[in-house]
Chain A
């Protein structure tokens, strides 16, 4: 007994205690639900057996039914548009801004820091603001675009089925842009300046310096940022209930919102779990890329 006590104050026991409690908490509240989710997707769950511990086995029925839903293809296509549109937009604008803010001028890092305010705002508030900006008749985006002569007639961003998924994607690009810029700035700052000076002396122009120095030196950062972009885009939920609620007619519905609707609108928790399991496959691939790209830094 005394040996255990003294190990807790002075030896391995101290370390094990600190890590152990936290890992048990995380496994109970994140690891276990993950496994439970997979189990649920193979069961029949309804309001009557929701609280029961044994439920009828459904085999692959849930998966078959999900795939044969008429909106399945639409939701997958929207998820693809949302994920790739968001990542492309966030990354391109974020990279451009990160490069711009590498220039030396007064208050550069302070102004750059202000961009990050989007990242601390509640997602639902961001969704509310963008819902108003994108409003069809009275939205400011339409007014600005018409004023600039880019569009002629009113665009119904939220209620036109051809546009609604792009409306949410636009809001998500705004939301994620600052974070992308910040991560890319860290990567850019780590490139030694003299590489650029040497290339300049050798007569390389700006574009050549970008493709032969910046991009190769940033490879692991870019990998991590793109993988994190995929992870965070698949985590993005709040914008959907705030802007379009997945409508009209599922034209802006994506997998993460669809999964929630199955569980908490239709109360078919097994179907919600099934859609979630399908999504998880993508998330796990992205996180493998992410962990691999950052392995050197993480181990420190």
Chain B
């Protein structure tokens, strides 16, 4: 009777559970490497008989993926820039004070976080149409998506700012800094890591955004990769290795960033008071 092996049994079990859970991701990569006839083999092969990566450059060229991914990147960057620019200062002030007004502002922000995009798209589309914003479709999508991402960002960055000791900022003020100086040179550098992680999360969410882009952007040259994928996806799809290759190209950068920053992302999400 030794107790030593128990943690290792648990480790094996945990790895098994993780493998089961991540199977869809594995299946995406495996399918993309199979040939056109092997994907319809019955029973399916769990390892491609002769892996053929030529589908990747083929899908990249045939589906104009460089255009779609560039648009995703533009939308993701725009949303992240706008969110960080407007959200960080707001989160800082909300973290610094406690009053009834702050509670009201927080309540408003929390309530805006819960509105489904599918509810907001109808009035946003009609309103943007009246204002003529639909002529700048990517900009319109950036505005709408930033408004969706902002509350989540503010709530979590606020939690980061709460961990910055107030005394450091007060000392800077006593030393003759203005509020701006104290904010930019003392508080922001201390909260940098949290802000960075949440900015990356905001980018990843905006990079995969679908519903606003699908509804607002009608010109294929401005559409992001999610809309490009939906173009050949549906209940009657058969081109599965092409779809999986497209999905793999689209999702691999996100998965790679996530794996690299996994610990920080999880910590950033869980250290915050609410998620």
Q: A residues near B, CB below 8 A?
A: 9-11, 14-15, 17-19, 21-23, 25-26, 29-34, 36-37, 40, 45, 50-51, 53, 97, 100-101, 103-118, 120-133, 135, 137-138, 140, 143, 147, 158-159, 174, 177-179, 182-183, 185-186, 224, 228, 231, 234-235, 237-238, 241-245, 247-248, 256-257, 259-260, 263-264, 269, 272-273, 276, 279-280, 283-284, 286-287, 290-291, 294, 297-300
Contacts and interface: CB of A to CB of B under 8 A. Distances in A.
B159 interface: yes
B55 to A, nearest CB: 14
Contacts of B96: 15
Contact of A25 (B147, B246, B275): B147
Interface string B226-269: 10011001110100100110110011001100110011011001
A108 B71 CA distance: 38
Contacts of A53: 130
B119 to A, nearest CB: 4
B181 to A, nearest CB: 9
A143 B44 CA distance: 7
Interface residues of B, number: 112
A51 B129 contact: yes
A36 B125 CA distance: 11
Contacts of B97: 15
A10 B237 contact: no
Given A109-B266, A235-B114, A290-B114, 20 more contacts: A19-B93, A21-B90, A29-B144, A33-B127, A100-B17, A101-B14, A103-B10, A111-B18, A116-B269, A117-B255, A120-B204, A130-B24, A158-B235, A185-B270, A228-B275, A237-B118, A245-B234, A259-B118, A294-B274, A298-B106
B201 interface: yes
Interface in B98-118: 98, 103, 105-118
Interface stretch (B57-65, B164-172, B206-214): B206-214
Contact of B226 (A23, A122, A135, A224): A122
B122 A272 contact: yes
Contacts of A147: 43
B122 A291 contact: no
B47 interface: no
B31 interface: yes
Main secondary structure of the interface of A (DSSP, over half): helix
Contact of A235 (B17, B117, B274): B117
Contacts of A126: 24
B189 interface: no
A140 B22 contact: no
A291 B179 contact: no
- Central interface residue in A107, A125, A297, by most chain B CB within 10 Å: A125
Interface in B57-85: none
A140 B210 CA distance: 27
A234 B246 CA distance: 28
B119 A122 contact: no
Given A111-B18, A114-B22, A159-B235, A129 B247 contact: yes
Nearest to A278: B119
Nearest to A274: B122
A51 B265 contact: no
A158 B107 CA distance: 40
A188 B187 CA distance: 31
A105 B119 contact: no
Q: Which 8 A-B pairs have the closest CB atoms?
A: A122-B208, A18-B89, A29-B147, A22-B90, A33-B123, A297-B273, A105-B10, A105-B7
